[in-house]
Amino acid sequence: MADDLGVGDLCCYGNNTVSTPNIDRLANEGVRLTQHLSAASVCTPSRAAFLTGRYPIRSGMASRFNLNRELTWLGGSGGLPTNETTFATLLQHRGYRTGLIGKWHQGLSCASRDDHCYHPLNHGFDYFYGLPFGLISDCQTSKTPELHRWIRIKLWISTVVLSLVPLLLLIPKFARWFAVPWKVILTFALLAFLFFISWYSSYGFTRRWNCILMRNDDIIQQPMQEERVASLLLKEALAFIDRYKRSPFLLFVSFLQVHTPLITKEKFVGHSKYGLYGDNVEEMDWMVGKILETLDQERLANHTLVYFTSDNGGRLEVQEGEVKLGGFNGIYKGGKGMGGWEGGIRVPGIFRWPTVLEAGKVIDEPTSLMDIYPTLSYIGGGILPQDRVIDGRNLMPLLEGRVSHSEHEFLFHYCGVYLHTARWHQKDCATVWKVHYVTPKFSPDGADACYGSGICSCSGDVTYHDPPLLFDISRDPSEAQPLNPDNEALFDSVVKKIEAAIKEHRRTLTPVPQQFSVFNTLWKPWLQPCCGTFPFCGCDKEDDVLSTAR
């Protein structure tokens, strides 16, 4: 799974400026899905849905707020609930050795620093090596901070203003205009200091608090050495395959590419025609190639299902000056953070299983990242949980050609907890209708994304549509020509059909604890993972291992 990779970033999906021969090889030797969809347009909820086969709103992994739509602190108390069952758990129960290498971003601890209730090891993985959070620009000291950047600016301004108060009170005191008690001056100075400490203790050390490398429950690097981490992850992935090559295994390689700050090995810098972003894509493709090469060398290729995807679409707003640092979503409108537009949710979907799946096959049917859950359960001989709604569908009949249509008649596209869009795939024909009830307001006017705010809102600064916007995705995949009762005779009947499906879908939702509540998303010192004695956290055990090896 790539991080923020646009569907148009790969050659096998039409890109001609970036070289991705290894991922293209997967597509040529397997099945390529052209209407593969994530259940959310940002990382944390999309990955929660991928792991559980359920819309993130069912597990409380969807946010009511525009500010924190993803988990923002390792020292927060939200995460993938312990009562959720991941596909790793299903396969673990069937005798598979399960490993996660790379990004997790599903929370870490609930009540104490070391309880690790949301840790991968408590969600079905036998082995974890990687980032419990993920890669953000704050992880690289030379980059502009990414986490809550505008809030930080406001906090600095507020701190300066508060600090000026005691200084200004000194003027009338020393000018002898009127007496200002020292108690008053010192009280204001103390308030300014406490205000500064209250926010700087978290935001001032974002790299140290969030950019951590772990092996199982142990912190290996704090902060992580970002320039080395990709090599370490690849080494661990290949070692996992070598350890368990003689038994059934599930390996989830969760790449850091292509999330900013686009940390790229020197040998790939300047390699592509698309700048640093393209270089980062090509480095990821090289890593995919190394994994495939290992499967070939160990003669595992014919017995191994390989799946490649991204957690959501490419982000359009991220740039450095005039240089774009985000992905390309092909002909599809919108990008990461946009609840319903195709560019934010349509992702690559490639399956290779040489002895089972037909090589070079292309399927243009609506499918979802949530489908991986029941698909892996079917392949591994597992039993799906019967005490909850599973929104994914087993893809094997479609991939093998035993059926020609996806089992998904309706798919619902949320932005946080807000339903923005719904899709209807007519059973009796190939038509796919899509209605938008809410769309983000792009800024500035005439732009193709929310450059003013950095990411689009789910509520508030949005446009509500009544009647909804209607598109025939099968004829207009770029959503350029909205239909209306004047140019589409079926407009009213299609809208009514989808509204009935939404009503039925909402009946299946039950109240659950909100993992993105204000309290859960606050940084809590007592939950902050720490290598050493808090707050003096820091270590590099990988260096210790290397020194011993030498």
Cα–Cα distance for residue pair 398/338, rounded to 1 Å: 29
Task: Cite the beta strand spans of 90-217 per DSSP E.
Answer: 97-103, 127-131, 213-215
Residue 105: active-site member: yes
Rg (CA), the chain: 25
Cα–Cα distance for residue pair 169/211, rounded to 1 Å: 41
Residues contacting residue 420 through CB under 8 Å, at least 6 positions apart: 339, 340, 413, 414, 436, 437, 438, 439, 458
Q: Name the helix (H) or strand (E) containing 222.
A: strand 218-222
Q: Which residue has the tokens 């949301």?
A: 118
339, 457 in Cβ contact below 8 A? no
Burial class (CB in 10 A: 0-12, 13-18, 19+), 179: exposed
The bridge status of strand 31-37 relative to strand 361-363 is parallel
The bridge status of strand 432-440 relative to strand 462-472 is antiparallel
The first and second tokens of residue 392, run together, are: 């994914």
Counts for the chain of helices (H) and strands (E), in that order: 14, 19
The bridge status of strand 319-320 relative to strand 432-440 is unpaired
Cα–Cα distance for residue pair 400/392, rounded to 1 Å: 17
How large is the angle between the packed helices 182-203 and 149-175, nearest 10 degrees? 160
Amino acid at 544: D
58, 509 in Cβ contact below 8 A? yes
Distances from the Cα of 541 to the Cα of 218, 223, 408, 544, 545, angstroms:
10, 11, 47, 5, 6
Catalytic one of 12, 36, 105, 456: 105
Dihedral of the alpha carbons of 254, 260, 265, 266, in degrees to the nearest 10: 170
Cα–Cα distance for residue pair 524/512, rounded to 1 Å: 22
If we measure between CA atoms, which residue out of 261, 290, 4 comes closest to residue 139?
261
Q: Name the helix (H) or strand (E) containing 168.
A: helix 149-175
Cα–Cα distance for residue pair 536/179, rounded to 1 Å: 43
Cα–Cα distance for residue pair 107/370, rounded to 1 Å: 20
Residue 408: active-site member: no
Amino acid at 344: G
List 422's β-bridge partners, or say none: 412, 435
Q: Which residue has the tokens 């039950």?
A: 510
Given its phi and psi angles, is residue 116 left (phi above 0), alpha (psi -120 to 50 degrees) or beta? left
Cα–Cα distance for residue pair 19/271, rounded to 1 Å: 9
Question: Which residues form the catalytic set?
Answer: 43, 105
